Amino acid sequence: MEEFSYEERQKIVEETIEKYMKYVSPGLARLFKFANLATVEWEGKGAQVCDIFGEAYIDCIGGFGVFNVGRNHPRIVEKAIEQLQRLPLSTRTLFNKQQADLAEKLAQITPGNLQYSFFCNSGAEAIEGALKLARLYTKKKKLVSCIHSFHGKTMGALSVSGREVYKKPFEPLIPETYQVPFNNIGAMREVVDEQTAAVIVEPVQGEGGVNIPSPDYLPQVREICTRVGALLILDEVQTGLGRTGKMFACEHYGVVPDILTLAKGLGGGIVPLGAFISTAEIWQVFEENPLIHSSTLGGNPLSCAIGLETLKVLEEEGIPRKAHEKGQYFLGKLQGLREKFPDLVKEVRGMGLLIGVEFFDSDMASLIAMEMAARKVLVVYTLNNPCVIRLEPPLVVSWEELDIVGEALEDSLQAVRKIVEEVMK
């Protein structure tokens, strides 16, 4: 960064914002500026990201939960450089060792008899594949999901997602999709029947506002699916890989899905990588035509080598357990703040380091995010519930950093309380 003078950095920021206005998205540019984020990200390490002026932010957005192993983990960067220099992309016709190794590792660490993996480049793509596999295997069409769920913004993933504002403009979406309230087993039982290909659920709703189901909800959904012959797809794109304090959130509930989807953290915080994983029995439907579902860039040697190293780092550094411990500690602190600011904070909830703070209205949540940004902590509201801000730091966040986030939130709450009092005068 030393290569630039202050004026040059200033110019880079101005030019980048101008190019966003002209070539990327004027709406997004205005949103970033409004949120006190009129700067350019430049480098990152651990749980922090630095802007071009060297100003460090504790990143509680973490690319919406991508940096489970932290930014630029040295082991993962080293593995990436080695693979990058040797063979980053595949011919797609010779055997790809990195893909085979990653698929084997996933078979070993995922619950139950999940065995085969298909690799892609994003969460939404993993969902598309999972939905297609369910229809192919069951030869049925009906898909059931939950209100406020978030599964991505491609047409299929959007069809099973649960917020109208993102769906309405694109209708008609794919037919025979039904949404029921989350954590309401009666509603699920009413809709899921012998015509159902799959039920897709997040073990904890992330973008819905960090909604944690009662302990018996997922086991009962599993039971219903098994009874009617529908497949259970658990979307662990956000909850997987240690985020909730276990490697997979479904382990909290003792539930094994028929198809599991992953993305976000699987790419080690440095590349895009998604996957859907299923059983040998279900995977048989790909045998007749193994190219019925494919991706040119999915499962490339570079991303798979990184994916495997990421899983090893998660295991060897005990990151899921640490996420549990730090999550408990942090949640305790946040509960304290809720008691101190009952006029602003409605509820605090979380599992591991997937934590939501719910405010009484979405303006308060936006104001808090702006105040936090001014205090060099990045937070943002959840996509399907703008009253909730997420605290989803890299799982390697230190105890000290969590304390700093807690203090920044307390100061921000004081500041917002003053603003509210002024307005009410």
Sites of contact with ligand PLP (CB under 6 A): 64, 122-124, 127, 150-152, 202, 206-207, 235, 237-238, 263
From residue 211, alpha-carbon distances to 106, 110, 344 in Å are 27, 23, 19
Closest by CA position to 53, among listed 120, 7, 118, 114: 7
Query: Which tokens is 168 given?
Result: 């309405």
Distance in angstroms (rounded) separating the CA atoms of residues 3 and 323: 37
**C-beta closer to ligand PLP: residue 235 or 358:** 235
Q: 131-142 in b/e burial notation, b at 16+ Cβ within 10 A?
A: bbbbbbbbebeb
Site of tokens 């892609």: 120
Site of tokens 């206005």: 21
At its nearest, how many Å lie between ligand PLP and the CB of residue 264?
6
At its nearest, how many Å lie between ligand PLP and the CB of residue 124?
3
E strand or H helix at 27, and its extent?
Answer: helix 26-34
Which residue type occupies 25? Answer: S
**C-beta closer to ligand PLP: residue 62 or 206:** 206
Query: E strands of 19-176, at which residues?
Result: 41-45, 48-51, 56-59, 114-120, 142-146
At its nearest, how many Å lie between ligand PLP and the CB of residue 390?
10
At its nearest, how many Å lie between ligand PLP and the CB of residue 207?
5
At its nearest, how many Å lie between ligand PLP and the CB of residue 239?
7
**C-beta closer to ligand PLP: residue 237 or 302:** 237
Distance in angstroms (rounded) separating the CA atoms of residues 145 and 199: 6
**C-beta closer to ligand PLP: residue 126 or 409:** 126
**C-beta closer to ligand PLP: residue 127 or 402:** 127
At its nearest, how many Å lie between ligand PLP and the CB of residue 212?
14
- Residue facing ligand PLP at closest CB distance: 123
At its nearest, how many Å lie between ligand PLP and the CB of residue 157?
6
Can you list the alpha helix ranges (DSSP code H) found in 229-359? 280-283, 301-316, 319-340
